Amino acid sequence: TGGSGFIGGHLVRRLLKETNCIIFNIDNLTYASDIESILNIEQSKNRFFLYRIDIKDSHLVSQAVKEIKPDIIFHLAAETHVDRSLDNPLRFIETNIIGTFNILQASLNYYQKLSLLKQKSFRLHHISTDEVFGSLGSTGKFDEETKYDPRSPYSASKASSDHLVRAWFHSYKLPILITNCSNNYGPYQFPEKLIPLAINKALNGESIPLYGKGENVRDWLFVNDHARAIDVIFHHGKLGETYNIGGFNEWKNIDLIKVIIKTVDRLLGREEGASDKLITYVTDRAGHDLRYAIDPTKLKDELGWEPSLQFEEGIKKTVKWYLENQEWLDNVASGVYQEYYQNMYKN
Ligand code: NAD
Ligand code: DAU
C-alpha cells in the first residue's frame, strides 16, 4: 500500500528492478503520489498493477486482498505531513488508524485461509516513523525500547497504528514486522517537506520559511537506504519485532538549509551566498518536536544494515535531481498530476 508515494515509489522501483516479483499497489493517489515514475520504467510492464482504493474503505480493501492473493504486504499508505495533521487531524485518524485497522483485518481473514506452507512465508510489514517516540532533549537517542510519546496528530495516529499492528500479532498471531524510521530525503519527495521545499524555493528565488529559531534537529536518511533496510528486515527480521532505522546523521534545520542553498547556488553557477537572504524565520510549528535521533544498533548488529550514502553525497545527488527534474517539481506542486489521475484512473 502507498506504493505511489515518496518512499513507496522507491521501494516499488527497487523491487521491480532487483526481483521478479509482481506488485499490486493499493493507493488512492492523493496529492503526494506519483505513478508516472513507476510506469516509465520498463520492468513495470505486466508486473505493476494499481488498485486505486482508499484504505478507509474496509469492503474494497478486503475485496482487493482476496483478489490479489499477496505473498507479502508492505503497508506504507498514510497521511504523512505534520502541518497538514494540525489543520485536519480527522483525515489522519481515518487513514492512519482506521485504514491500518482495515489492512489488518483483511490480512488476517486472508492469512487464516492460507495453506500452512503459505502461512509460513506470509508477513505484513508496517512502515512507521520515529515520531511515535516524541521529542528528545539535546542528548540521547530513540531505540526500540523507548516509550511511545507522540505529540502531533500525525505522530499520535502513527503510534496508534503501531499499537494495532502489534496487537494483531499477539492476539491473532498475524505475522508482522514494524519499522520506525527517521526523516527521509531524496528524489520524488513532495515539495511540502523541508528539503524539497527549500530546494524549490531556492531555485525560484522565493523565501524559505524556517520555523521558530531553526534549531530543531532531524536525523536524515537517504530514501534508497530506507528501501534497502525494509528489504533486509522483511527477509531477515524476526516476526513480531520492531526495528529502528536511522542515518547517524543529525542536522539542525538552519544548518541543513544553508547546505542546501549553497549546493543549489553552486550547481546553478550563482555567486556564493547569493540565496542566503531567502532564509526567513517564521512562526514556529505548534508543538514542534525539538529533536529526533535514531539508534539503529539493533538493525546494524542483528541484520548488518548500515546507511550506504554519506550525507554530502546524498544531498548533492538530491539537489541535482530536482534541478534536472523541474518539470516534475512544477507538475506535482501545481496539482497537474492530480487532474491527470482523476481522468485516467476512475475508481
Ligand atoms: P507520502 O505522503 O509521500 O505517500 C503516501 C502514499 O499513501 C501516497 O501515495 C498516497 O496516495 C497514499 N495514501 C494516502 N492516504 C491513502 C488512503 N486513504 N488510501 C490509500 N492510499 C493512501 O508518504 P511517504 O513519505 O512515502 O511515507 C510512507 C510511509 O512511511 C508512511 O507510512 C510514513 O508514515 C512513513 N515514514 C515516512 C518518513 C518520511 O520521512 N517521509 C519517515 C519515516 C516513516
Ligand atoms: O521523522 C520522520 C518524519 O519526518 C516522517 O514520519 C514524516 O512523515 C515526515 O514528514 C517528517 O516529519 P518532519 O515534521 O520532521 O518533516 P518536515 O520536512 O515537515 O520538517 C522537517 C523540519 O523542518 C521540522 O523541524 C520542521 C521544519 N520545517 C518544515 C517545513 C515544512 C521548517 O522549518 N519549515 C518548513 O517550511
Q: Can you say whether the dihedral through the CA atoms of 182, 186, 187, 193 is positive or negative?
A: positive
> Tell me, what's the pLDDT at 258?
97
pLDDT of residue 333: 83
Provide φ and ψ at 35, rounded to 5°: -105, -20
The pLDDT, as a whole number, for residue 347 is 45
* Nearest one of 87, 53, 78 to 128, comparing CA atoms: 78
Ligand 2 pocket check for 182: Cβ under 6 Å: yes
Q: Which residues pair with 129 in a beta bridge?
A: 181
Q: How many CB atoms lie within 10 A of CB 122?
A: 17
User: Using the 8-state DSSP alphabet, how is residue 278 labeled?
Assistant: G
Mind listing the pLDDT tens digit of every residue in the chain (347 residues)? Answer: 999 999 999 999 999 999 999 999 999 999 999 999 999 999 999 999 999 999 999 999 999 999 999 999 999 999 999 999 999 999 999 999 999 999 999 999 999 999 999 999 999 999 999 999 999 999 999 999 999 999 999 999 999 999 999 999 999 999 999 999 999 999 999 999 999 999 999 999 999 999 999 999 999 999 999 999 999 999 999 999 999 999 999 999 999 999 999 999 999 999 999 999 999 999 999 999 999 999 999 999 999 999 999 999 999 999 999 999 999 998 888 876 666 666 665 54
Cβ–Cβ contacts within 10 Å for residue 142, how many? 24
Which of 166, 139, 145 lies closest to 244 in space, CA to CA?
A: 145
> What pLDDT score does 331 carry?
87
- The residue type at 134: G
Q: 194 in ligand 2 pocket by Cβ < 6 Å? A: yes
Enclosing H/E stretch for 209: strand 208-211
Give the residues surrounding ligand 1 with Cβ less than 6 Å away: 2, 4-8, 27-30, 32-33, 54-56, 76-80, 95, 99, 127-129, 158, 181, 183-184, 190
Residue that the C-alpha cell 487532474 belongs to: 339
CA 94 to centroid of chain Cα atoms: 18
CA pair distance 265, 273, nearest whole angstrom = 8
The residues annotated with a catalytic role in the active site are 130-131, 154
Closest ligand, as measured to the CA of 52: 1
The per-residue pLDDT for 330 is: 87
* Beta strands at 242-245 and 176-181: parallel, antiparallel or unpaired: parallel
Atom 21 in ligand 1: residue holding the nearest Cα: 27
Q: Look at residue 165 in the predicted model and tell me its pLDDT.
A: 99
Per-residue pLDDT, 337: 64
CB contact at 8 A, 60 and 54? yes
Q: Count of residues for the chain?
A: 347
pLDDT of residue 335: 75
Please state, in angstroms and rounded to a whole number, the distance separating the CA atoms of residues 95 and 1. 12
pTM, whole model, 2 decimals?
0.97
